[in-house]
Amino acid sequence: MTTKLEKAFIVQTQTMVNECHDTESAHNWKCRGGNTYIVEDVTSQSQAMAFVMSAFSCNTSSDKEFPVPTPRLGNTYADWQKELLEDIEMMTQDGESKQKIYNLMFTVYVVSPKTGREKVQIKDFLELDI
């Protein structure tokens, strides 16, 4: 089945939080996960990364979000979907709850330069095949 996301690219981000941002002398940066952006309406991985950087990056004294390389994941939606399905299958075999799988999807957004900073959150993995 062909999806409209077939030509989309995946961009992963890292989020960091400064737990001591109220004091000027102390800094205590901690990595706090990140987001997965499924970027439509671009023709290359570099365009996808540039769009995510310009639309969704953050660089303040208290928090940061920026694109990072994804050595495990492929750059295309098809690669990402295949690996995600494998992860979900492994989580299910290990007795992980459906809640953990839904939590995994909580940080996945479909974005496009055509819609600017609008993020469409995927609430259910099945929505990915619409």
CA distance 106 to 124: 9
Q: Give me the pLDDT at residue 71, please.
A: 62
How many CA atoms, within 13 angstroms, populate the side-chain half-sphere of residue 81?
Answer: 16
List the chain domain ranges: 9-20+29-125
CA R_g for the chain:
16
Residue that the structure tokens 């400064």 belong to? 18
Q: What is the mean pLDDT of each run of 10 residues along the chain (130 residues)?
A: 73 90 71 91 93 94 87 74 79 71 79 95 55
Q: Give me the pLDDT at residue 97, please.
A: 66
Chain segment 4-26, per-residue pLDDT in tens = 777 899 999 999 998 875 666 66
